[in-house]
Structure 1
Amino acid sequence: MPDTAPTPLLLCADDYGLAPGVNAAIRDLIAQGRLTATSVMSLCQHWREGATALRELKDKADVGLHFTLTDQPPLGAMPTLAPDGRLPPLGRLMGWAYRGKLNTVAARAEIRDELSRQIAAFTDAWGAPPDYIDGHQHIHQLPGVRDAVVEALATLPGAYVRLCGEPVAAVLRRGVAVPKTLLIGGLGGGLRRMVRTRGIPANDRFAGVYDFAGNRPFAGLMPRFLDGIGGRTLVMVHPGLPDEELRRVDTLVEPRRAEYDYLRGPAFAALLQARNIRLTRFAGFPR
């Protein structure tokens, strides 16, 4: 074991609440000390039941809001963005964001109100406000959305936000889903500037993006995600146990099982030891 102090890493599982199998996998990994945060889709029907079981692990991981504006039924009426009672797919939402539709008075009000509803649904089931806010499919970075997120964070003292940017050189060295990673990071420049101006806590580095196609085993990806980490690095993962509900609501199924199997296994433990990495909650990062 190296004599130097271990490098801290925040390892966050997204999509808690999406399906029972996702909830069970995330809880198991938190209990084993293999995750230190999870992001909750509080508008999903499996959040409330999942909150009760997750509460037993509340001292082992940060629990935050995975603000969702795509593909799900919203918690309240959104006649501009979800006139048929279902939020738009990501591509349509991004198009609206960069054509200015999300900056209209009506759209901004709907986004702000839906975020408030999702925070309230989180808090009602969890018994406390979220430790942080991020976005399902990274929508919290979009113009017209990030403003509402920053306003909400200002009312949650101590809460942090996920930033998704990485140095371009680091992305190129890693060589994993380079265009996708650069796109996601590039979307976050405005949010990063707002967060810094407002003094909202945030991670410094981010990793975990890949294409979910299964062309590379997840066991080969995680070492790349951990290359050169430092500062306050957050790595996102999407573990889960496939079940009928997951298959009904999402196309990402088998990659979740592969991530779960790897994260709970001995190879991941050996990687952390070999790299002298200590999994931590956000508060465990050096100030």
Structure 2
Amino acid sequence: MANGFVLCADDFALTDGISRSILELLDLGKLSATGAMTNRPHWRRLARELGAFSGRADLGLHFNLTCAAPLGPMPKLAPGGTFPALGQVMRTAVLSGAIRREIAAELARQLDAFEDALGRAPDFIDGHQHVHALPGVRRAVLDLLARRYPAGAVYVRDPADRSAAIRARGVAVGKALTISGLAAGFRSAALRRGLRLNRGFSGVAPFDPERDFAGDLKSFLLRPGAAHLVMCHPGFIDDELARLDPVVATRPIEHAAIAAFEPPPSLPMRRLRDLL
């Protein structure tokens, strides 16, 4: 039985417009978590403003292997200094131990950047395009987290959910089932290493500006897990966003819907650490 849910905005620091949107929603009390892309140049400048929400919201690392540039050299995965597309990361991480070692080193750098800016460990780890949970990447991620932090100190996002719950919500069903399939085995691997995870996940969206996101947001709370996490992607559009990310037009729509959203009293919004 669910006793609350987390509403987590992805992509903090990807652009200034996204970051300002998330900071505004945090200040309104409309989000209970956000994940930061610490490889982005905006991170250091905006970290203090985000850090003001410590204790009010879960602040985590949104581990990035597919957008813009790594923080250090990755001659196998990113020989030109720019991350490849998701498909290439998936293929090469499975096949190459050298690339998995590069991934572990880049994760350490992104974690260092979070800790250097906020003076503490992140509350959680997840991944841009769910890269942290993919076969080939997950072992590098989970092994490093288990070595770096005491058991239970951070949680990791499980982007999978029960197929019956996904179908009942009726939003981007095929996409959500595909993500769940790619993440198969991630939960058990994390638990074996003493890591905590959410129980229940939704928020996979078609990124269609013609859809009623306010209605989808309510659907994401159907059939919640016991420690349910809802992903979202609010933001304000700027020129940088259009250059970096395919998800553009729906971000201000999500922002407006989240700003107006009132969760049901039977399912209050909380931090995940309060649900685990």
TM-score by length of 2: 0.94
2:114 maps to 1:122: yes
The CA deviation string for residues 107-129 of structure 1, in whole angstroms up to 9 with x for no partner, is 12101111111111111111111
Which amino acid in structure 2 is aligned with residue 107 of structure 1? I
**Cα RMSD for the two superposed structures:** 1.6
Is the 8 Å Cα contact of residues 8 and 230 (structure 1) preserved in structure 2? no
Quote the offset at 1:276 in angstroms. 2.1
Between 163-172 and 86-95, report the one with greater CA deviation. Answer: 86-95
2:108 maps to 1:108: no
| Aligned partner of residue 4 in structure 2, secondary structure | strand
Separation in structure 2 between the aligned mates of residue 39 and residue 85 of structure 1, nearest angstrom:
23
Is the 8 Å Cα contact of residues 153 and 160 (structure 1) preserved in structure 2? no
Give the match for residue 267 of structure 2. 277
Identify which of 5, 9, 12 aligns with 1:9: 5
Separation in structure 2 between the aligned mates of residue 130 and residue 179 of structure 1, nearest angstrom:
31
Which amino acid in structure 2 is aligned with residue 67 of structure 1? F
Give the match for residue 154 of structure 2. 159
Give the match for residue 25 of structure 2. 29
Is the 8 Å Cα contact of residues 39 and 66 (structure 1) preserved in structure 2? yes
Separation in structure 2 between the aligned mates of residue 178 and residue 55 of structure 1, nearest angstrom:
35
Which amino acid in structure 2 is aligned with residue 280 of structure 1? R
| Aligned 1:1-287 pairs, distance under 5 A | 7-97=3-93, 100-101=94-95, 104-154=96-146, 155-157=148-150, 158-265=153-260, 268-269=261-262, 272-273=263-264, 276-285=266-275, 287=276
Which amino acid in structure 2 is aligned with residue 142 of structure 1? L
- Which 5+ residue runs of structure 1 have no aligned equivalent? none
Which amino acid in structure 2 is aligned with residue 110 of structure 1? E
Quote the offset at 1:6 in angstroms. 8.3
Separation in structure 2 between the aligned mates of residue 238 and residue 39 of structure 1, nearest angstrom:
11
| Aligned partner of residue 55 in structure 2, secondary structure | coil
Quote the offset at 1:248 in angstroms. 2.6
Separation in structure 1 between the aligned mates of residue 101 and residue 90 of structure 2, nearest angstrom:
18
Quote the offset at 1:253 in angstroms. 1.6
| Aligned partner of residue 246 in structure 2, secondary structure | coil
Moved over 3 A (4+): none
Separation in structure 1 between the aligned mates of residue 239 and residue 30 of structure 2, nearest angstrom:
25
- Which 5+ residue runs of structure 2 have no aligned equivalent? none
| Aligned partner of residue 133 in structure 1, secondary structure | strand
Aligned sequence identity (%): 44
Which amino acid in structure 2 is aligned with residue 231 of structure 1? A
Is the 8 Å Cα contact of residues 133 and 149 (structure 1) preserved in structure 2? no
Separation in structure 1 between the aligned mates of residue 194 and residue 52 of structure 2, nearest angstrom:
32
Separation in structure 2 between the aligned mates of residue 160 and residue 263 of structure 1, nearest angstrom:
24
Quote the offset at 1:254 in angstroms. 1.8
Separation in structure 1 between the aligned mates of residue 2 and residue 165 of structure 2, nearest angstrom:
21
Greater C-alpha radius of gyration? 1
Distance 1:87 1:279, change over 3 A: same
| Aligned partner of residue 15 in structure 1, secondary structure | strand
Distance 1:170 1:50, change over 3 A: same
The CA deviation string for residues 226-264 of structure 1, in whole angstroms up to 9 with x for no partner, is 112140000000111112222232221221100000111
Separation in structure 2 between the aligned mates of residue 258 and residue 128 of structure 1, nearest angstrom:
33
Is the 8 Å Cα contact of residues 7 and 230 (structure 1) preserved in structure 2? no
Is the 8 Å Cα contact of residues 165 and 205 (structure 1) preserved in structure 2? yes
Separation in structure 2 between the aligned mates of residue 70 and residue 76 of structure 1, nearest angstrom:
14
